[in-house]
Amino acid sequence: MALVAGSTKHKTTTPVPPCGACRQAIAEYEVKQDLPIDIYFMGESGEVIRSKSLANLLPFVFEKAII
């Protein structure tokens, strides 16, 4: 998954990660498929950050526990 964010007011050169609601939606999909999702994010230009799993961005994800 790749995310790029920009602004109409100023140049965005720092990486912009997914918002909280998006993180939760991605986490639910990751848990459902039982596989990590690579996420790449950046601003309009500059450094690209790679996360090998949403768990790196949302460590205490809500998930259904099977007991």
What's the token pair of residue 54? 């949403």
Averaged pLDDT for residues 8-25: 91
**C-alpha pair distances (Å), 48 with each of 12, 22, 41:** 12, 19, 6
DSSP letter, residue 60? T
pLDDT at residue 12 above 70?
A: yes
Confidence of residue 31 (pLDDT cuts 50, 70, 90): confident
Averaged pLDDT for residues 37-63: 89
Rounded Cα distance between 1 and 49, Å, is 12
Q: What does the domain layout of the chain look like in residue ranges?
A: 2-54
Rounded Cα distance between 65 and 43, Å, is 36
DSSP letter, residue 11? -
pTM for the whole structure: 0.79
**pLDDT at residue 55 in the model:** 87
Mean pLDDT of the chain: 88
Single-letter code of the amino acid located at 58: L
pLDDT at residue 67 above 70?
A: no
